[in-house]
Amino acid sequence: MFERRNKLGLGAKVLLFFWPAAGFRRAGTYLMHRLSRLPGTPYALAGGFACGAAASFTPFVGLHFIFAAVLAWIIRADILASALGTVVGNPWTFPFIWVWLYNLGNWMGFGVDGLDVMKLDFPNLFGRSTEALLNADFSALSELAGPVLWPMFMASIPTSLVVWVVFYFPLRRIVKSYQRRRIERRLRRNGQNS
């Protein structure tokens, strides 16, 4: 019923994944409407989304949903909103996030001398680290990932706190305003129908 008349090929699907057809502004607006329409208080929705955004600024790719849900559960925020918030970490933003975390971790004094962030192949590093983790080869994991993930992990703590605050306060105001306008529209509509 709601399928496309002309099916998309694999190349078009990949392109749409990286570049939305309607543009990033429209995708962001849609995301804000989805967030505002979720049932819950402005605190729960904004806090949940902020937890997802903060989780995206950790080096644990693949665990962002779980990490965001746990954070949202701890602060009694909306878990579904935290899943929406993880879209902050995406193929467009991950390279910048990883370079930021690695450089900040080095600046904080947790890095290893001699590693140049511009020469690191993060996807390959994460893939090999995941393989070592799945094979329970912790010595290889520590050799491969330790010099890179440790500074990134340490930098993700203050960065995630800042990201949480940056997303929470504006979103709380936006959600509160949206919900108030929605209630006012509903009351006006019910007043006209009476």
Regarding predicted confidence, which is higher, 34 or 159? Answer: 159
Q: What percent of the chain has pLDDT over 90?
A: 23
**pLDDT, tens digit, for every residue of 18-58?**
666 666 667 667 666 666 666 778 899 899 999 999 999 99
The answer, yes or no, to whether residue 116 has pLDDT greater than 90, is no
Length of the chain measured in residues: 194
Phi-psi region of 20 (alpha: psi -120 to 50; beta: other; left: phi over 0): beta
How many angstroms separate the Cα of 173 from the Cα of each of 37, 45, 106, 177?
14, 11, 36, 6
Q: Where are the domains of the chain?
A: 20-193
- Averaged pLDDT of the chain: 81
CB-based contacts of 86, cutoff 8 Å, min separation 6 = 52, 53, 55, 56, 64, 65, 68
125 pLDDT band, cuts 50/70/90, is confident
pLDDT at 113: 66
pLDDT at 27: 64
The lowest-confidence range among 52-61, 74-83, 120-129, 148-157 is 120-129
**pLDDT, tens digit, for every residue of 61-94?**
888 889 999 999 999 998 988 988 898 888 888 8
Rounded to whole angstroms, the Cα distance separating 179 from 193 reads 21
For 148-174, b/e burial (b = at least 16 CB within 10 A) is bbbbbbbbbeebbeebbeebbeebbeb
Residue 167: name the closest of 41, 38, 62, 35 by CA.
35
